[in-house]
Amino acid sequence: MAKMTVIFDRCKGCELCTTACPKHIVAIQHEKRNKEGVFTAYCTDDTACIGCAMCAMMCPDCAIVVEK
């Protein structure tokens, strides 16, 4: 059981986290912009997250918190 949470207003939508995820379950959503006008990253499948925190390590903005 693991979970990655994107801090919505801190995400700049750079997509670097999407390249880091070994499970390929991080993507950019195109429904809601944050206060900076950015479509943010999210986890496409919470059940598949292994809590490795590679997405968070790649994030330049400390916009991802990982729990396990």
Residue 21 CB coordination number (10 Å) = 21
Q: How far is the CB of 23 from other proteins (least distance, A)?
A: 13
By CB under 8 A, residue 6 contacts other proteins? no
Smaller CB separation from other proteins, 32 or 61: 61
Q: Which two tokens stand for residue 39?
A: 């479509």
By CB under 8 A, residue 3 contacts other proteins? yes
> Contact positions toward other proteins, by CB under 8 A?
1-3, 9-10, 12-16, 19-20, 38, 51, 53-54, 56-62, 64-68
